[in-house]
Amino acid sequence: MSRLKLELADIFRAHGPAWRQAHAGHVSLTQLKVMSAIEACRTEALGGHVAGSAKCGHHHIAYNSCKNRHCPKCQGPAARDWMAARAADLLPVEYFHLVFTLPAEIAQVAYWNKKAVYDLLFRASAETVMTIAADPKRLGARVGMTAVLHTWGSALTHHPHIHMIVPG
102 CB neighbour count, 10 Å cutoff: 20
- For 58, list phi and psi in degrees, rounded to 5: -75, 140
Order of strands, sheet of 146-152, starting from the edge strand that comes earlier in the sequence: 95-101, 158-167, 146-152
Using one digit for the tens of pLDDT, what is the confidence trace for 20-39?
999 998 888 889 999 999 99
Q: Answer whether residue 130 is part of any domain.
A: yes
Q: Answer whether residue 2 is part of any domain.
A: no
- Kindly state the average pLDDT of the residues 121-144: 95
Q: Is the pLDDT of residue 55 over 70?
A: yes
Do 112 and 159 lie in one domain? The reply is yes
Do 121 and 69 lie in one domain? The reply is no
Using one digit for the tens of pLDDT, what is the confidence trace for 4-15?
688 889 999 999
62 CB-side CA count, 13 A = 6
8-state DSSP, 92: S
* pLDDT attached to residue 2: 57
Do 14 and 83 lie in one domain? The reply is yes
Q: How far apart are CA 83 and CA 77, in angstroms?
A: 10
Quote the number of domains for the chain. 2
Full residue range of the structural domain in which residue 155 is found: 91-167
* pLDDT attached to residue 3: 57
- Kindly state the average pLDDT of the residues 111-131: 93
* pLDDT attached to residue 162: 95
8-state DSSP, 55: T
Bigger pLDDT: 81 or 121? 121
* pLDDT attached to residue 47: 85
Q: Which of 87, 120, 136 is the last residue of a domain?
A: 87
Q: How far apart are CA 162 and CA 152, in angstroms?
A: 11
* pLDDT attached to residue 157: 76
Confirm if 130 and 142 have CB atoms less than 8 A apart: yes
* pLDDT attached to residue 59: 82
Confirm if 108 and 159 have CB atoms less than 8 A apart: no
8-state DSSP, 59: E
Q: How far apart are CA 158 and CA 150, in angstroms?
A: 9
* pLDDT attached to residue 4: 67
Q: Answer whether residue 52 is part of any domain.
A: yes
Confidence of residue 58 (pLDDT cuts 50, 70, 90): confident
Q: Which of 87, 111, 146 is the last residue of a domain?
A: 87
Do 78 and 100 lie in one domain? The reply is no
122 CB neighbour count, 10 Å cutoff: 16
Q: Which of 87, 102, 128 is the last residue of a domain?
A: 87
